[in-house]
Structure 1
Amino acid sequence: MAYLTQPDYVKYVCSCGQLKPITHLYFCRHCLKIRCGFCICHEVDSHYCANCLENMPSSEARLKKNRCSSCFDCPSCFHTLSTRATLAQPRQPAQEGGGDAKVENKQPKKMYYLSCFNCRWTSRDVGIPDQPVASGGWPERTNPFATRINQLLDYYKAIAQQEKQEKLEKERKKFAIRGKYITLTDKTGLTGAMARNIAGLPSEGGSSSAIAGFVASQPSEEVEELPEDVYTKEINLKQITSMPQRLASPEWQPTSVSRLHPLAKLLSVKRSQRCRACDHNLTKPEFNPGSIKFKIELLAYYHVPEVKIISFETVKPGQTTALLLKLTNPTGHEMQLKLMQPEDLPPVESSEETTIDKSLEKSLNLEKDASYKSVSRAPALGASVRVRGAARALSLAQRDDAAEYDDDAAGGGDGFIIWRKSNKVAVRLEVETPPSAAPGTAARAALAVQHSYRNTVPAAQPPHDHTLHTVLLLDLGTVSG
C-alpha cells in the first residue's frame, strides 16, 4: 500500500484540454468553467518595491525603467544592500599666517554607505563617496551611449508606427463598402492626426523626420590590437567579474571587480487575472503592497470538489486492486456528487467562436484585435486502467471550519463508503487492469465527477443550482510484473 498526499497525482482536465493539479486551476463563476493559466489573461495592477514597499504608478515606473531609486542589490552576490552609518570628523580649515588660531570643536557628522551582509561588499570598495542622507542621493552613472540608444529607439518606434498605418490603410481599402463605416474615422470624420493626438502617438511628420534623419551605423576597419602580454599575463580570477555579474549591468558590463556598482532593485508587480471568454476577474489582489489578501480569489480549490488518493494496491496485469479516495466539499453549500466514467458524460454543445471586445472598448486603438478565439481540444488522458464501482451518488455537507477540530469520524454502512467526517468522505473503488498491460508502463485511470454547484452571481437574483462535470486523471504508479 502506498500513501500519497501530493496533488500532482490527481490532475484535472481544464476546459481547454490541459491536465493540471487543482492548485493550479481557476474557476469562473460566470462561465461555470475550469480555467488554467493558458485560459486567462494577465493585467498589471500596480508596481511596488519588494524591499521598501513603495507604490509607484505605471508612468513613473516606466520613467525609472522599472527600478527603485532608494533600494539597491549587491553587484557581487545580488543580495539586498543595507545602509550602514558611520561618523566622519569634519576637516579643520587651514589658518593663514603662523599665529595661533582658535580651533572650533565641531561635532562629527553622520555619513552613510551601502554594505552587503552576505559577501561583505561595500560601496567604499569601488570608491563611491559616503552620503549625508540614508535614502536617496546616491550618484548615478550615465551611459556614454545613451544618445545613440535613444536614436535607435525613436527610429524603430517610427518604423512600427509607419507599418501599422500602412496596414490600417490596406484594410480600409480592402473592406470599403458604400454606406458602411468600417472604422471610427469613417463614421465621425475624425482625422488620422487627431486620432494619433488623442492616443498619445507621434504625428506622421515626426515619424517621417525620425526615419529620414536617422544615421546608420558604419563598420570600422580599424580594430584595436590586443596587448602583447594577453597570453602570458597571469590572471587573478578574484579580480575578474563573472558572466552573471556582467549581464546584471548590460549598459556597462564591467570586466573587473573594482568597477562594480550597486544595482537599483527591480520593481515587483501585483497582477489581476481575467477569464478570456467572458472578461471577468478571476483574481484581484489588494492595492496595499504589504497585504497578501485578495479582493477576488476564484480558485478551483474553493469551488470544485477535491479528490485525493489515500492509498492503492499494487497494480498487476489482469487483476483487480483496491483504491481509496477522499472527496472534499470546499463550498459553503451542500453538494450532490456522483462518480462516473468519462464516456458516460453528456456531450458538450459546441459553441461558436467568440472574441473578446470588452477590453477593446477601454482602449483608443481604432483597430479591433480578434486574435483570441475560444479553442478547445480533446484531452490526452492516456488511461491504461479502468475504475469500477464508480456509479454511486453521494451527498457532502457544507464546509465547517469548526468541524476540523472534531476527531470523530462516522464509519460507512457498506463497502463503498469507508468513513465520513463533516464535508469529507472516503470511498473504496476497484481498479481493473487489462491482461495486455505491459509491466513497467504507467498506470493511469480516468474518472469523471458530476457535482452540484450553487451559483450566487449575480447577487441581485436568487441563487441557482447547476450540475457541473469534471474529468480527473489518477496516477497509480506503474504496472507491476
Structure 2
Amino acid sequence: MIPQVDSHYCANCLENMPSSEARLKKNRCSSCFDCPSCFHTLSTRATLAQPRPAPEAGGGDAKVENKQPKKMYYLSCFNCRWTSRDVGIPDQPVASGGWPERSAPHAARVSQLLEHYRAVAQQEKQDKLERERKKFAIRGKYITLTDKTGLTGAVARSIAGLGDAGAGAALAGFAPAVPKEDVEGLPEDAFTKEVNLKQITSMPQRLASPEWQPVSVSRLHPLAKLLSVKRSQRCRACDHNLTKPEYNPGSIKFKIELLAYYHVPEVKIISCEMIKPGAKSTLLLKLANPTGHEMALQLLPAAPPPPPPHGETEAATEDKDDSIEKSLDKSLKLDKEPRWPHVEPPAILTRVTPPAVTLTLAPRDDAAEYDDDARHEPSHIILWRKSNKLALRLELTTDPAAVEGSPARTALTVEYSYRNTVPQSITASQNRDHTLYTTVYLDLGTVGSAGL
C-alpha cells in the first residue's frame, strides 16, 4: 500500500485546511493551544470583568458609571491548573482567536539566512545550466535561445551579461556572522544561589518552544496545537484507492473501503500435531467472518490461479479512451475476468483433506466479542461456534518422500460468498451477491518437529 496525505486538520476544533495553507501556518492551528507545562489541550474559560471607576477631572471622588460586567475569556489547563494569567497574558473579549502572538527574537536573522541560501541555490543552478550550455554549439539569435534550450529568463539574463537582480541583491546584502571576543561571564552567585526547581523549566518544556526556549516557568506561553493529517492508501499494483477518508474531518466514514481484511474470511491456526513423513495428523483452524452479513463458506483443494496469457496489456492502456464513469463502473464490476499476478507457489509437502460440507458463518457483532461462551457442536468437523467464528478439525497427509527438517506447508482454496457494499451506477448489474475464491498457504513449521 502507498500512503498519501490528503489534507490537514486540527484534532481539537476539526478545522480542515489544504496543505498549502497548513504550510503557511507552520502546521499549527491558530485557535487551539496546548499547555506549555503538561502539554494537554487548553480550555477556554469565561469570567466577568467588573467595570473600573472613572476618576473625575476635579480630583474628587471616583464616579462609577452604570455599566454591565463584561465577559472575558482566558486559557486554563484542567490537568495541571496552569492558566494564561500566570504569565501575564491579558484576557480576551472573544472566546476563539485574538490571542497575542510572540515574535521570535531571531526571526529577522533566520529569514535573512533563508534568503541568502535560496540565492546561493539559484546561483548554483544557473552555473550548472551554464556548464551544460557550453557543451552544445548554439546558433541563431538571442531571441530564440530560450526556445531552443528551454532556459529560464534568469539564466538568459545571466548569459547576456545582465545578471540576476534578485539573487545578486540577496548575495550582496547578506551580512555574515561576526564572532565576539568578549563573552559575558556567569554571575557571581551562579554556584552559590539556591535553585528552586519549581521555577525552572524542564528540557521537554524548553524544546517545545525552540524559538524562545524559556528558562523560568513564568516565561511559558501557550503552544499552538499541531495539525493532524488525513491519509489515503492506494494499491501498489492497480493504483486503486483502498481507503480514502471524507473531506469533513468530523466524519469517520470512508468513501472506498476495499481492504481484503474487511471482506475476506480470516483463517488462523489453532494447533497442529507433529508432522511425520507418510503419516496423518490433525490440524485445527479458526475461521472468522469480518463482514456484517451472513457468509457461506466451503473449503476446496488448492488450485493456484492460472498465469496471465502472454502479451496481455494492462487495463489502463485498454481503457485509455473510456470516460471516468465507464472506468469507475468497470472497476466496481466484480463479474469481469480477474487478472492474477503470476506468483510461484511454495512447495507443498503436506496435503489437507477439506470436508465436503458448506459452512455458514454468522455476521460480525461487536457486542458479542465480550461473550466468552462458545457453543460446542456434536460433529467430527466443527469443534465449536462463537458469534461469527468457528473452529474446524482437518486431516493432513504428509508426502512419504518428505525429508525431516524441510518446511511443512499446505494450501487450500476458500470459496466464500461476498456482498458488494460499494454503491454502483444505475446501469450496473443489481446482483450484489458474488462467489469469490482465494488460495490460503499455511506454514506448519518443519517436518518431524513438534506441532504448533
- TM interval, shorter chain, is 0.5 to 0.7
Q: Secondary structure at the match of 1:51?
A: coil
Please identify, of 145-154 and 100-109, the stretch whose mean Cα deviation from structure 2 is larger. 100-109
Q: Secondary structure at the match of 1:147?
A: helix
Amino acid at match of 2:251: S
8 Å CA contact 1:339–1:393 kept in 2: the answer is no
2:413 corresponds in structure 1 to: 450
8 Å CA contact 2:364–2:387 kept in 1: the answer is no
Amino acid at match of 1:60: E
8 Å CA contact 2:105–2:211 kept in 1: the answer is no
Task: Rate the CA distance shift 1:137–1:469 in 2: closer, same or farther, 3 A.
Answer: same
Query: What does 1:254-265 correspond to in 2, within 5 Å?
Result: 254-265=214-225
Please give the alpha-carbon distance, in whole angstroms, between the structure 2 residues aligned to 1:164 and 1:247: 35
* TM-score, normalised with respect to structure 1: 0.63
Shift of 1:272: 1.5
Shift of 1:68: 1.2
1:152 corresponds in structure 2 to: 113
Shift of 1:418: 4.4
2:328 corresponds in structure 1 to: none
Please identify, of 219-228 and 332-341, the stretch whose mean Cα deviation from structure 2 is larger. 332-341
Shift of 1:235: 1.8
Shift of 1:288: 1.4
Question: Identity of aligned pairs, percent?
Answer: 62
Please give the alpha-carbon distance, in whole angstroms, between the structure 2 residues aligned to 1:191 and 1:327: 64
Structure 2, unaligned stretches of length 5 or more? 137-144, 155-162, 318-340
Amino acid at match of 2:3: C
Please give the alpha-carbon distance, in whole angstroms, between the structure 1 residues aligned to 2:60 and 2:387: 95
Please give the alpha-carbon distance, in whole angstroms, between the structure 2 residues aligned to 1:162 and 1:239: 49
Higher relative contact order (CA 8 A, sep 6+): 1
Amino acid at match of 1:249: S
8 Å CA contact 1:317–1:435 kept in 2: the answer is no
Query: What does 1:319-468 correspond to in 2, within 5 Å?
Result: 322-328=282-288, 330=290, 337-338=299-300, 340=302, 389-390=352-353, 395=358, 400=363, 415-418=380-383, 426-429=391-394, 446-451=409-414, 467-468=437-438
8 Å CA contact 1:41–1:275 kept in 2: the answer is no
Shift of 1:347: 7.2
Match of 1:51 among 12, 16, 31: 12
Shift of 1:115: 0.8
Q: Secondary structure at the match of 1:151?
A: helix
1:71 corresponds in structure 2 to: 32
Match of 1:107 among 39, 61, 68: 68
Amino acid at match of 2:228: S
Match of 1:230 among 179, 190, 215: 190
Shift of 1:466: 6.5
Task: Rate the CA distance shift 1:193–1:390 in 2: closer, same or farther, 3 A.
Answer: farther
- Whether 1:220 and 2:176 are equivalent positions in the alignment is no
Task: Rate the CA distance shift 1:277–1:56 in 2: closer, same or farther, 3 A.
Answer: same
- Whether 1:312 and 2:274 are equivalent positions in the alignment is no
* TM-score, normalised with respect to structure 2: 0.67
Please give the alpha-carbon distance, in whole angstroms, between the structure 2 residues aligned to 1:190 and 1:107: 70
- Whether 1:137 and 2:107 are equivalent positions in the alignment is no
8 Å CA contact 2:55–2:63 kept in 1: the answer is no
Please give the alpha-carbon distance, in whole angstroms, between the structure 1 residues aligned to 2:126 and 2:409: 52
Please give the alpha-carbon distance, in whole angstroms, between the structure 2 residues aligned to 1:421 and 1:86: 56
Amino acid at match of 2:352: G
Amino acid at match of 1:40: I
8 Å CA contact 1:303–1:330 kept in 2: the answer is yes
2:439 corresponds in structure 1 to: 469
Q: Secondary structure at the match of 1:47?
A: strand
Q: CA RMSD in A?
A: 5.2
Please identify, of 251-260 and 450-459, the stretch whose mean Cα deviation from structure 2 is larger. 450-459
Q: Report the number of matched residues.
A: 391
Match of 1:119 among 80, 83, 95: 80
Please identify, of 152-161 and 49-58, the stretch whose mean Cα deviation from structure 2 is larger. 152-161
Task: Rate the CA distance shift 1:400–1:391 in 2: closer, same or farther, 3 A.
Answer: closer
Per-residue CA deviations over 1:16-53 (Å, capped at 9, x if unaligned) read xxxxxxxxxxxxxxxxxxxxxxx3131x2222211112
Please identify, of 458-467 and 246-255, the stretch whose mean Cα deviation from structure 2 is larger. 458-467
Match of 1:268 among 228, 233, 241: 228
Q: Secondary structure at the match of 1:389?
A: strand
Report the structure number with the largest CA radius of gyration: 2
Please give the alpha-carbon distance, in whole angstroms, between the structure 1 residues aligned to 2:146 and 2:436: 46
Shift of 1:400: 4.9
Match of 2:21 among 54, 60, 77: 60
Query: What does 1:175-194 correspond to in 2, within 5 Å?
Result: 192-193=152-153
Match of 1:250 among 210, 221, 243: 210
Amino acid at match of 2:12: N
8 Å CA contact 2:374–2:385 kept in 1: the answer is no
Per-residue CA deviations over 1:290-325 (Å, capped at 9, x if unaligned) read 11111111222123231134x436869999764321
- Whether 1:277 and 2:247 are equivalent positions in the alignment is no
1:179 corresponds in structure 2 to: none
2:50 corresponds in structure 1 to: 89
Task: Rate the CA distance shift 1:424–1:218 in 2: closer, same or farther, 3 A.
Answer: same
Task: Rate the CA distance shift 1:159–1:101 in 2: closer, same or farther, 3 A.
Answer: closer
Q: Secondary structure at the match of 1:71?
A: strand
Query: What does 1:9-20 correspond to in 2, within 5 Å?
Result: none
8 Å CA contact 1:282–1:297 kept in 2: the answer is yes
Shift of 1:221: 3.6
